[in-house]
């Protein structure tokens, strides 16, 4: 059975990459959630689990992942909170995503490599849509322009209360532009992620991220095994 990535990928959109993306054999897994949810940790643990099972995998992130995407990441995360308005943020993020998709994700999937991304398009919907107030229909139209009907095979949405997430984020490093936005923004964003997960139950799994990293990793592995059929545990 073809993956979601192959079913929904308009091959003509990505010819410039030189990759045959009509029948990709890899799987595309995204990890989403608010600040401090543990996305980067869970992406790292999942990549390690896949590698131990002999599954070729590429770790990446958004914004970023490709040289152009990483350059745009610096523009987005550095500086004061009001540096960009929500529409500017959206356009920058989508430019980074296009570069990321055509230069890294598409070629990897076409070669049979799994891709695990710390954030993808659901973050734009949650942050700039639910959080910052960009109209959802306009976001959807822009997303279609950039990625067509391409969707991840599986999205793991890590959920925890806003206060807990911001406390974790503050403990690990200096706050970036998004972390410095007010609590109401982060609550709107959290509820946005929860709605995305509920509205896309066939693709998304909502995971309680309040527990310790290994316990959350267990839930991630269980979701991978159940939804994608990859055996990552013994027995």
Is residue 77 a contact partner of residue 62, using CB atoms and an 8 Å limit? no
Q: How many CA atoms lie within 13 A of 47 on its CB side?
A: 18
Nearest to 72 by CA among 124, 23, 29: 124
Domains of the chain: 26-228 (3.40.50.300)
Residue 96: predicted pLDDT: 98
Tell me the sheet residues that pair with 60: 117
Pure H helices in the chain: 4-7, 39-52, 67-77, 86-100, 106-110, 121-124, 136-147, 162-172, 183-199, 213-228
pLDDT, one tens digit per residue, over 99-156 is 999 999 999 999 999 999 999 999 999 999 999 999 999 999 999 999 999 999 999 9
pLDDT, one tens digit per residue, over 187-220 is 999 999 999 999 999 999 999 999 999 999 999 9
pLDDT, one tens digit per residue, over 7-52 is 444 333 343 344 444 444 799 999 999 988 999 999 999 999 999 9
Q: What are phi and psi of 140, to 5 degrees?
A: -60, -40
Long-range contacts of 12-20 (CB under 8 A, 24+ apart): 13/147, 13/148, 14/101, 14/102, 14/106, 16/102, 17/102, 17/103, 17/106, 17/107, 18/107, 19/106, 19/107, 19/110, 19/111, 20/110
Question: How do strand 57-61 and strand 154-159 relate by DSSP bridges?
Answer: unpaired
Q: How far apart are CA 2 and CA 24, in angstroms?
A: 8
Q: Which two tokens stand for residue 125?
A: 């919907």
């Amino acid at each position: 059975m073809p993956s979601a990535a192959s079913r929904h990928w308009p091959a003509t959109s990505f010819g410039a990459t030189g990759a045959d993306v009509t029948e990709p054999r890899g799987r595309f897994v995204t990890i989403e959630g608010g600040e401090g949810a543990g996305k980067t940790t869970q992406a790292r643990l999942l990549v390690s689990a896949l590698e131990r099972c002999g599954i070729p995998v590429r770790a990446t992130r958004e914004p970023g992942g490709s040289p152009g995407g990483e350059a745009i990441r610096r523009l987005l995360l550095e500086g004061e909170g009001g540096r960009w308005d929500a529409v500017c943020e959206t356009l920058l993020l989508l430019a980074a995503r296009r570069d990321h998709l055509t230069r890294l994700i598409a070629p990897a999937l076409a070669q049979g490599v799994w891709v695990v991304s710390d954030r993808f398009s659901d973050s734009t919907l949650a942050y700039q849509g639910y959080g910052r107030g960009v109209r959802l229909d306009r976001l959807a139209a822009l997303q279609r322009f950039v990625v067509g009907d391409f969707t991840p095979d599986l999205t793991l949405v890590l959920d925890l209360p806003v206060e807990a997430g911001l406390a974790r984020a503050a403990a690990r490093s200096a706050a970036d532009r998004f972390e410095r936005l007010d609590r109401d923004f982060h609550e709107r964003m959290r509820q946005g992620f929860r709605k995305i997960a509920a509205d896309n139950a066939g693709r998304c799994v909502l995971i309680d991220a309040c527990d310790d990293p290994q316990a959350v990793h267990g839930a991630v592995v269980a979701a991978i095994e159940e939804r994608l059929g990859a055996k990552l545990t013994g027995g």
